[in-house]
Chain A
Amino acid sequence: MKKLVILLFCAFSAQAEEMEVVGNVASKCVVTPDTAGVYGNPTADELSTDPTDGGVDPIVRFDVIQASMYKARILYPTSFSEAPALNDTVVWTGDVATSQVSDTSMSGYDAAKVEFDNVTEFNLTVTGSTWFKTESKAEYGYGKAFPGGVYRAVVSAECIAI
């Protein structure tokens, strides 16, 4: 008799299910720091990553698996992330260009790059790896010597889907 009651209850109850759909999207563009940058101090009022000034240009690598789907956006620094107290203005300049390519067609990236403010954008139209080199220079005041201490700045590199 107990069993019968249960069966009747099931027959008259409403039934609903929710199903989960899962998907993983692996990025087709990978950004990897390649070479750490170093500021040289050729004169008392200048810090520069130029190798002729005793510095090292930072290099970042973009690996693209699918062509013409991404652009590389790289920002040279406009402020120090770490520095002694500075009481005068710092003038920042910089430039970003291809350093190495894995395909000769990438050699045309420099001619097609877009620059504004401290931002440089490259359309990644070829699959493969591209190494971008960033030059950075900081000049203190009007010929004023930088105070002694450690100076750090950040180069920002990101891959943006078009």
Chain B
Amino acid sequence: MPVLLACCSYSYSSEEVYGTTTNAANVGLNWVMTNVLPQATGLTVNNVIYKYTTEKDPEANMLVHVQNENAQGNGYIFRATDDWSGLPGNTINKTIPVGGIGIDFWGDGSIEIEGFGTVLDPEVYYTYQYVPCDNPQVDPKCPGYIDPLTLIQEPEIDTSSEEYIQEELDREANMKAQKEEEEKEARDKFAKATEKKVRVNLENMLGLSPGAGLQKEQDALLHNALIRMSYLSTEYLGEIKGGEYPDAAMLKDSNLPDNASARRVNFAQDIMHQKIVQSQYD
């Protein structure tokens, strides 16, 4: 069985795929080749098959060009001309070998008419071939296929490194600061809203109205009312004496001995900590 599987896998990779496109001219006399040919790496076109019917006066001159632009340069990569001059209209059916021209050369196609007459029911087909695994990356079944995900290696993180620890600490600190900032903003917002509400209520109660000329008097009345309501703390009115405030306690430089009892406590805490940590694995 393994031998058979290996054989099948090999035949898949080496088998050439032959095919024929749908009618390129089913939407009109101009077509885009990327919509017609399968976009397979290494695809080559072997034949162009076309068929159309002309309606014309037998005496009239008429040339019909079936063509594809050269996508890699100027001019045409394929051009077949039918001269209907002096001939009655008919249906023409042609197969033209082109000898395996690569997909990159096939530009947009068209049927162009010179002279007098019309083209009806145009049909243009391209026969092609390609090896599916010419580029192994197009199909995971192709030999030599490399999973792109394996090429993306995630960097290993050393959680014990100082850099990592420092980054984590910074991140936590930033988050904490951000949270505190948000809480402070919320508190300030609430305080301002409350103050405004109190002020409006007081203004209503005192019968004040906002006027430019009386703003000072109104502020004084409001201030007094706030004092009476004990809304403002009495410390708000207290005075702070100016002057110099020297440090009260001073520590003189000298030899400070280790505290042995503190060390014992410290060791005991360490042992206890290790026991607690170990207990979660037991």
Contacts and interface: CB of A to CB of B under 8 A. Distances in A.
The finding on whether chains A and B are genuine partners in a shared complex, rather than unrelated, reads yes
B93 A107 contact: no
B170 interface: no
Interface of B is mostly: strand
A111 B88 contact: yes
Interface string B90-128: 111111000000000000000000000000000000000
Contact of A100 (B82, B88, B90): B90
A107 B84 contact: yes
B92 A101 contact: yes
Nearest to B51: A100
Task: Give the interface size class of chain A.
Answer: 10 to 19
Interface in A101-130: 101-108, 110-111, 129
A104 B115 CA distance: 15
B87 interface: yes
A131 to B, nearest CB: 7
Interface residues of B, number: 13
Contacts of A98: 90
A111 B83 CA distance: 17
A107 B89 contact: yes
B91 A104 contact: no
Contacts of A102: 92-95
Contact of A104 (B51, B84, B95): B84
Interface of B: 51, 82-84, 87-95
Given A100-B93, A107-B87, 16 more contacts: A100-B51, A100-B91, A101-B90, A102-B92, A102-B93, A102-B94, A103-B92, A104-B83, A104-B84, A104-B87, A104-B90, A106-B90, A107-B90, A108-B87, A110-B88, A129-B93
Interface of A: 98-108, 110-111, 129, 131
21 contacts: A98-B90, A100-B51, A100-B91, A100-B93, A101-B90, A101-B91, A101-B93, A102-B92, A102-B93, A103-B92, A104-B82, A104-B84, A104-B90, A105-B87, A106-B90, A107-B84, A107-B87, A107-B88, A107-B89, A129-B93, A131-B93
